[in-house]
Amino acid sequence: MENEHPLTLADQVRSIPGGEHLEMCYSCGTCVSKCMIQQKLEPEYNPRRLLRLVTMDMREEAFTSPTTWLCSACDLCYPACPQQIHISGVIGAVKQLAVEAGYESPLETVAVDEALCSGCGICVMTCPYEAPHLIEKEVNGVMDRFSEVNAEKCMGCGMCVAACPIGAIAREGVSNEDVASQMRIKPVKDNPSLVVFVCDWSLRVDEDMSLLESYPENVRVIHIPCSGRIDPQMALMALDSGIGGVMVCGCAPGECHYKRGNYVSTCKMSLLDRMFGQMDIDGEHVRFVQIGTQDRGRIRHEVDSMLASLQKEVA
Amino acid sequence: MVDAARHPKIKVKTYTNVDRVEGYVGNFKVQLREKARYVRADKCNGCGDCARACPIEVPNYFEMNLAPRKAAYVAMSQSVPLLYTIDQEACIHCYKCVEACGALDAIDFSQEDKVSWEDIGSIIVATGFNHFDPSVIPEYGYSRFPNVITAMEMERLNNSAGPTTGNLVRPSDNTTPKRVAIINCVGSRDKRFNPWCSNFCCMYAIKNAVLLKQMYPDIELSIYYMDIRTPSKGYEEFYDRARSMGIRFIQGRPGLITEDETTHNLYVHSEDVALGKVVEHEYDMVMLNQAAVPQPDVDTVSSVLNITQSPGGWFMEYHPKLRPMDTPTDGIFLAGACQGQKDIPASVASGSAAASRAGRVLHSDEWAIEPIIAQVWEDRCISAQGKQCGICAKACPYGAITVETGTAAQVVTAKCHGCGGCVGECPHNAITQMHYTDAQILAQIRALLAEKPEEKIFAFRCHWCSYGGADLAGTSHFEYSANERGIRVMCSARMDPDFIYEAFRLGAGAVLYSGCHPQDCHYITGQLVGASRAERLQKIFEKMEMSPGRFRVEWISAAEGDKYARVINEMQKSIDGIGKDKLKAEIERMKPEMEKRARRMYDVPGVTQASDFSDTMALAMSVQEVGDGK
């Protein structure tokens, strides 16, 4: 009894490691309610439906679905799935098939400025998605090394932008210039100013985000795609320009949208803390807060207490 | 319960443990440990003066810890018999209760556990189920958010005898909630915790919603569900009624609950599957409909009673369709949710059924058992010769064999169920199984391997599973090699190594050793005996350098006809792959070793005659074939 039917999309997905068990989905919707992308970015995003498209062999729809391209494999859904389906694995398998079939990622990805790139490879080490890699090519008759970004893999977190020592890698909206231009605050007398770098994914509830935006002018909110995008130099620049304090707001451990961005920022921020200690700078000027999905309303406490401690210093 | 307690023929023993069970159907001896209550049962009249005098308060388990109880307490006001108990873990020995009891003199701090043995005819196990603890699901925040409660807590809150006299209030501020969400399948249908559907929670959620809606017509109620399962009579109509009352049903399993820290209101995040988008609704209170899980002490109970568990820990029935109330041990029956998650009507029905099954035992002077019991040849048993052995007793899943060095092993006939595990294990062939004697099985093996044995695939199938699997393969018309020859024994435990050696000695091309999956075994642990033996055999044949694929061990259930056909076809392929000449040479090479290993079987009574008999049979068959002109 040999199976002579052509492989269905489900068969193909199952045969890719990570794509197994997709037929176990009973459409409970847990993954969709866990995921931030539908709420924050794309209303059409729905992993449950993608799994359905795959089981029903709807190839074209599956390959063009935003779900296929936007999943960043944060795996918030996987531990919550009652059927223990590794959803990001299934989505990754669909994406792989889509790329093989010639579809392209609609995401805006980072690009390397070859005039600046020295080929040091720091971005290669930093990227959680293995998107950049080093290539060698001939420029003006001399072999040179450059970083090149695989657009199918890049999720646009900006960790490489923060890591690049020359600023040779960037994408619109998260380049060093874009961030720095937002940092200028007119000093208000007797009122300390605060810059809050907020990761796009860390505040699950819209109310928390609008609350943050509603602070008076001395609190400047700067949106970054991930707390891993933060560069300690930015904090130093901010403090240097007379801003009282810098707060970085990222996701709770284990909940990073880009796999390990919040781990990277944890390291950077604690390093900064130690530096301040060595430089004999007293008081709290930099704070890193990690807001979990269930920490509704916590951001208000954090900003208020930071402002209060800055106020104390001014007085 | 009160009627039962008053019945002259019913003795109710509460606060009592079953420590040991010995004997067999109709003749059980049961050791009971009546735990010390520190209150004399003959004197206490249940007035409750001791509890009123007691100064110690501890959480009340019956009220789901929503109210306190005293150290002198009754579990609940409807307890039968109504006897107070003094909780020694909480008691501070102030003796105020003794004072309060006064002339009645019912309190006795010198009481000790009372151990007694009782003669019992049959036993019904009705230990019920337990509730899943939802605090292990972090996303629902149970035990962190005060207004997230469980179904059982809701049950106490809207009970007029409960801690709030039936007023539904929020634990955070004692106000009546206006918006309540009920979340189904908390810990059920969830492979991380319990894979099963807990059966009654859908109806339970609807019942609670309807009750609350009747009590508070303005209340806003939402039930989050994955599927609403209303399979019994009148259930779907009840679901319709709930919807017509304005209760909101949202399809979608919530992924997260968050709490507003000042109001303690809760936000339930879920996908609304019908809308295909994530919705966030605010509620004053959330009820988690937690899964039904087996009692925490099922292992103790099953080892005391020698009954088995299904995967997950529910007690296993003898047969899921034909004998759903019986356990593998005769005279022990199951009632209610200890056997599997059941709602009230099903539990009552199973209780009545178990009682009538137990009544059969009590009303009969004789008990019919299967005639396939094991019997010991006393002159062959080495225990009778004063040597240490007891292998048979270890193999018996029912504890039916007693071995004392100096006398032959004894089989308690009433306990024996005829799996043949002891027979297969006995290294001296000193036990036989009636109707499955070595001689009878050997006769079958010889008859089936009389001609061209090297082409044959000889299959040993257990009666309950793999024989059914082979049968299903046949009735489903799954094609498999016509070279298969199978015989039936009761259990894979009966598949004596001697039979396998004999089959190979006679030149069988391949041998299949098949039985039930471990959890399906009809004889409690028979399959385990068979499986460990099969493993030993595999190692032996490996050492003898047998070509791979000639001896195969497979566990095939009665529902796996396709697997049976596939296994046989694969075996055919592997003997085809070896090649006829090489196979024949291998059979010849191994013959002396096989004969040496099976030697003890040849002097078992009847075996020689069986060989002769089957040779005559084979001859007769071949003569007939010639006569038919084939």
My answer on whether B463 and B578 are in the same domain is yes
Pair B302, B314: CB distance under 8 Å: no
Residue B117 to residues A86, B33, B114, B399, B400, Cα–Cα distance (Å): 55, 9, 10, 20, 21
3-state secondary structure of B29: strand
- With cut-offs at 50, 70 and 90, classify the pLDDT of residue B581: very high
Partner-chain contact A297 B278, CB within 8 Å: no
Which A residues, 39 through 98, put their C-beta within 8 Å of a C-beta on chain B? 39, 43, 46, 48-49, 77, 79-80, 82-84
Nearest-CA residue of chain B relative to A47? B276
CB-nearest partner of B271 from A32, A83, A205: A32
- Give the domain CATH number at B538: 3.40.50
Which pLDDT belongs to residue B620?
A: 53
CA B113 to chain centre: 30
- With cut-offs at 50, 70 and 90, classify the pLDDT of residue B610: low
Residue B519 pLDDT > 90, yes or no?
A: no
Residue B128 pLDDT > 70, yes or no?
A: yes
3-state secondary structure of B323: strand
CA–CA min distance A130, chain B (Å):
30
Nearest-CA residue of chain A relative to B272? A29
Pair B314, B338: CB distance under 8 Å: yes
A78-87, B369-378, B469-478, B545-554: least confident range: B369-378
- From chain A, the residues in CB contact with B273 under 8 A are 27-29, 48
B363 inside domain: no
| pLDDT digit string, tens, across residues B101-115 | 999 999 999 999 999
Partner-chain contact A34 B277, CB within 8 Å: no
Pair A20, A60: CB distance under 8 Å: no
The whole-model pTM stands at 0.86
Instruction: Name which of B277, B283, B476 to mutate to probe chain A: the one with the most chain A Cβ atoms within 10 A of its Cβ.
Output: B277
My answer on whether B217 and B104 are in the same domain is no
Partner-chain contact A33 B256, CB within 8 Å: yes
Partner-chain contact B252 A293, CB within 8 Å: no
Instruction: Name which of B148, B268, B271 to mutate to probe chain A: the one with the most chain A Cβ atoms within 10 A of its Cβ.
Output: B271
Nearest-CA residue of chain A relative to B188? A82
Mean pLDDT to the nearest integer, B451-468: 93
B78 inside domain: yes
Q: Which two tokens stand for residue B101?
A: 């009891």
B315 inside domain: no
Residue of A188 and B309 predicted with greater confidence: B309
**Residues in chain B whose beta carbon is closer than 8 A to a beta carbon of chain A?**
138-139, 141, 185, 189-192, 226-227, 251-262, 267, 269-273, 276-278, 280
- Cα dihedral sign, A22-A24-A30-A34: negative
- From chain A, the residues in CB contact with B252 under 8 A are 28-29, 32-33
Which pLDDT belongs to residue B300?
A: 95
My answer on whether B464 and B398 are in the same domain is no
At A247, which amino acid appears?
A: M
Partner-chain contact A83 B226, CB within 8 Å: no
In chain B, the number of structural domains is 4
The H or E element containing residue B617 is helix B607-627
Q: Which two tokens stand for residue B490?
A: 């009761």
CB-nearest partner of B270 from A26, A33, A43: A33
- With cut-offs at 50, 70 and 90, classify the pLDDT of residue B629: very low
Instruction: Name which of A30, A33, A50, A78 to mutate to probe chain B: the one with the most chain B Cβ atoms within 10 A of its Cβ.
Output: A33
| pLDDT digit string, tens, across residues A145-174 | 999 999 889 999 999 999 999 989 988 878
Residue A1 pLDDT > 50, yes or no?
A: no
Given CB atoms, is A26 within the 8 Å cutoff of chain B? yes
Which pLDDT belongs to residue A192?
A: 84
CB-nearest partner of B276 from A28, A46, A79: A46
Please state the domain extents for chain A: 9-100, 107-170, 173-314
Q: Which of B398, B420, B435 is the last residue of a domain?
A: B435
Side-chain-side CA neighbours of B21 within 13 Å: the count stands at: 27
- From chain A, the residues in CB contact with B276 under 8 A are 46, 49
B528 inside domain: yes
Give the helix ranges, DSSP H, for chain A. 9-14, 30-34, 37-40, 47-55, 59-64, 66-70, 87-100, 122-126, 159-163, 176-181, 206-213, 232-240, 261-278, 298-314
My answer on whether B431 and B441 are in the same domain is no
- From chain A, the residues in CB contact with B269 under 8 A are 33
| pLDDT digit string, tens, across residues B239-279 | 999 999 999 999 999 999 999 989 999 999 999 999 988 99
At A181, which amino acid appears?
A: S
Mean pLDDT to the nearest integer, A111-120: 91
Partner-chain contact B256 A297, CB within 8 Å: no
Q: Which two tokens stand for residue B150?
A: 């469980």
Partner-chain contact B271 A33, CB within 8 Å: yes
B351 inside domain: no
CA–CA min distance B408, chain A (Å):
54
Which pLDDT belongs to residue B66?
A: 92
Which A residues, 124 through 163, put their C-beta within 8 Å of a C-beta on chain B? none
My answer on whether B57 and B72 are in the same domain is yes
Partner-chain contact B278 A30, CB within 8 Å: no
Q: Which two tokens stand for residue A255?
A: 């909940």
Nearest-CA residue of chain B relative to A39? B278
Residue A115 to residues A119, A123, A144, B379, Cα–Cα distance (Å): 11, 16, 11, 98
- With cut-offs at 50, 70 and 90, classify the pLDDT of residue B628: very low
Nearest-CA residue of chain A relative to B480? A1
CA–CA min distance B554, chain A (Å):
21
- With cut-offs at 50, 70 and 90, classify the pLDDT of residue A140: confident
| pLDDT digit string, tens, across residues B33-91 | 999 999 999 999 999 999 999 999 999 999 999 999 999 999 988 898 999 999 999 99
Residue A305 to residues A212, A228, A292, B262, Cα–Cα distance (Å): 14, 24, 18, 17
Q: What is the mean pLDDT of chain B?
A: 92
3-state secondary structure of B213: helix
Mean pLDDT to the nearest integer, B112-129: 96
| pLDDT digit string, tens, across residues B469-501 | 999 999 999 999 999 999 999 999 999 999 999
Partner-chain contact B185 A33, CB within 8 Å: no
Mean pLDDT to the nearest integer, B426-433: 91
Given CB atoms, is A33 within the 8 Å cutoff of chain B? yes
B216 inside domain: yes
- With cut-offs at 50, 70 and 90, classify the pLDDT of residue B440: confident
Residue A186 pLDDT > 90, yes or no?
A: no
- With cut-offs at 50, 70 and 90, classify the pLDDT of residue B298: very high
Q: Report DSSP letters for B300-315, one per residue.
A: HHHHHHT--B-TTSPB
Nearest-CA residue of chain A relative to B224? A28
Distance CA A35, CA A22 (A): 18
Q: Which among B394, B417, B354, B305 has a CA at the least distance from the CA of B29?
A: B305
Mean pLDDT to the nearest integer, B158-171: 92
Residue of B524 and B353 predicted with greater confidence: B353
CA–CA min distance A151, chain B (Å):
29
Q: Which of B383, B402, B435 is the last residue of a domain?
A: B435
Residue B463 pLDDT > 80, yes or no?
A: yes
Residue B624 pLDDT > 70, yes or no?
A: no
CA–CA min distance B270, chain A (Å):
5
Distance CA A69, CA A151 (A): 11
Domain A173-314 annotated CATH 3.90.79:
no
Q: Report DSSP letters for B498-539, one per residue.
A: HHHHHHHHTT-SEEEEEE--GGG-TTTTHHHHHHHHHHHHHH
Q: Which two tokens stand for residue B524?
A: 């409690």
CB burial string B470-491: b at 16+ within 10 A, e below = bebbeeeebebbebbbbbbbbb
Residue A264 pLDDT > 90, yes or no?
A: yes
CB burial string A291-314: b at 16+ within 10 A, e below = bbbbbbbbbeebbeebbebbeeee
| pLDDT digit string, tens, across residues B28-40 | 999 999 999 999 9
My answer on whether B441 and B431 are in the same domain is no
CA–CA min distance A79, chain B (Å):
8
My answer on whether B108 and B46 are in the same domain is yes
Nearest-CA residue of chain A relative to B184? A28
Query: What CATH topology corresponds to A107-170?
Result: Alpha-Beta Plaits (3.30.70)
Q: Which domain holds residue B382?
A: 369-435
CB-nearest partner of B255 from A27, A43, A80: A80
Give the helix ranges, DSSP H, for A164-283. 176-181, 206-213, 232-240, 261-278
CA–CA min distance B519, chain A (Å):
22
| pLDDT digit string, tens, across residues B555-570 | 999 999 999 999 999 9
My answer on whether B32 and B122 are in the same domain is yes
Partner-chain contact A294 B259, CB within 8 Å: yes
My answer on whether B411 and B483 are in the same domain is no
Q: Which two tokens stand for residue A106?
A: 């609609």
- With cut-offs at 50, 70 and 90, classify the pLDDT of residue A207: confident
B203 inside domain: yes
My answer on whether B196 and B103 are in the same domain is no
Pair B271, A29: CB distance under 8 Å: yes
Residue B587 pLDDT > 90, yes or no?
A: yes
Which pLDDT belongs to residue B627?
A: 43
Partner-chain contact A29 B270, CB within 8 Å: yes
Given CB atoms, is A169 within the 8 Å cutoff of chain B? no
Residue A34 to residues A47, A293, B189, Cα–Cα distance (Å): 10, 9, 18
| CB under 8 A, 24+ apart: contacts of B261-266 | B261/A296, B261/A297, B262/A297, B264/B145, B264/B146, B264/B147, B264/B170, B264/B172, B264/B173, B265/B147, B266/B141, B266/B145, B266/B147, B266/B148, B266/B181
Partner-chain contact B192 A84, CB within 8 Å: yes
Q: Which among A95, A160, A87 has a CA at the least distance from the CA of A121?
A: A160
- With cut-offs at 50, 70 and 90, classify the pLDDT of residue B178: very high
Given CB atoms, is A285 within the 8 Å cutoff of chain B? no
My answer on whether B282 and B380 are in the same domain is no
Instruction: Tell me: cis bond preceding B81? Omega within 30 of 0 counts.
Output: yes
B235 inside domain: yes
Mean pLDDT to the nearest integer, B542-560: 94
Partner-chain contact A38 B278, CB within 8 Å: yes
Mean pLDDT to the nearest integer, B539-559: 94
Given CB atoms, is A3 within the 8 Å cutoff of chain B? no
Which pLDDT belongs to residue B1?
A: 85
CB-nearest partner of A34 from B138, B185, B256: B256
